[in-house]
Amino acid sequence: MKKIGVIGAGTMGNGIAQVLAQGGFNVVLRDLKHASLEIAMTQIDKNFNRMIEKGKLSETEKQQALNNIYTTIEILDLKDCDMIIEAATESIEVKKRIFQELDKICDEKTILATNTSSLSITELASATQHPQRVIGMHFFNPVPVMKLVEIIKGMITDEEVVNSVIELSKALGKTPVRVEEAPGFVVNRILIPMINEAVGVFADGVASPNEIDEAMKLGANHPIGPLALADLIGLDVCLAIMEVLYNEFADSKYRPHPMLKKYVRAGHLGRKTNKGFFNY
């Protein structure tokens, strides 16, 4: 692989574009709005500057990486990519529409990956004429820092595609973990219900957000508390994942807590809105 497309210039998309560019790949970063692309490139530049300050990157390496990124609002600019990683909003309808568009313009050998954190790879693949080339490649936030990438094989995904994506992950300095398709995969099936339970503990008045997080950091040796982590992930994303788990398993233990729904309805989504369970 030489040229890789990334769809979505948000937190996950710009992080994925950054690590790909650092890895020496030509990156086409596509979003619907020029403003979103400008914000993404500003964030990538800031990330590189922090790495320079820490002695992890030279100015020359920064410029080389930035030169590897081409931004666009045109989906046709992705047509000759060897692989495309979709990092759009966590909506099955949105992602399926994107995959249908890509299916029309890309070569049948192009690998189509999704950064979904919980949705069915098999269902997304069904929106294309070549479901065997569709795979899950779930990065974690912040992408430049977090080592894990969950590699999720759909029901029809070719083994050759799986191996290619595993090798790409290693080339980016990541640690790929292969998992079979299931709601929430591995990490979020365990993590998000824990966050949901922390919301319940707060709602019941057992402890404050600060106290809950301090208890989990000191008592469970977690580097960050569950409510601060929820704010980092985005409360809307946490809710979306809980709803997927609840709908797929039809088990009450996965029912989203009403307080989580209330915060999302209020637009208190965490760090990206400067207010969640904590203020930023």
Tokens at 157, concatenated: 């995904």
Clarify whether 211 is annotated catalytic.
no
Examine the residue annotation and report whether 123 is marked as an active-site residue of this protein.
no
Find out whether 35 is annotated in a ligand binding site.
no
Helix (H, G, I), strand (E, B) or coil at 142: coil
Could you give the maximum distance between any two Cα atoms of the chain, in Å? Answer: 56
Q: Is 188 a catalytic residue?
A: yes
Give SS3 for 175. Answer: strand
9 belongs to an annotated ligand binding site = yes
Tell me if 225 is assigned to a ligand binding site: no
Is 104 annotated in some ligand binding site?
no
Dist CA 98 CA 258 (whole Å):
31
Q: Is 266 annotated as a binding residue?
A: no
Strand, coil or helix: what is 148? strand
**Strand arrangement, sheet containing 134-139:** 69-72, 26-30, 3-7, 83-86, 111-114, 134-139, 148-153, 175-180
- Within 10 angstroms of residue 16's Cβ, the number of other Cβ atoms is 27
Question: Is residue 181 marked as binding?
Answer: no
Tell whether residue 31 is among the known ligand binding residues: yes
Q: How many residues does the chain have?
A: 280
Catalytic pick among 115, 120, 150, 181:
150
150 catalytic, yes or no? Answer: yes
| Residue 272, annotated as binding a ligand | yes
d(CA 264, CA 80) in angstroms, rounded, equals: 39
The SS3 call for residue 138 is strand
With b for 16 or more beta-carbon neighbours within 10 A and e for fewer, the 105-120 pattern comes to ebeeebbbbbbbbbbb
The annotation status of 12 as a binding-site residue, yes or no, is: yes
The residue from 138, 169, 181, 257 that is catalytic is: 138
Cβ atoms of 275 and 237 closer than 8 Å: no
Q: Is 90 annotated as a binding residue?
A: yes
Spot the catalytic one: 14, 47, 117, 164: 117
**Residues acting as catalytic residues:** 117, 138, 150, 188
Binding-site residues, please? Answer: 8-13, 31, 90, 95, 117, 141, 272
Binding-site residues for NAD(+), please? Answer: 8-13, 31, 90, 95, 117, 141, 272
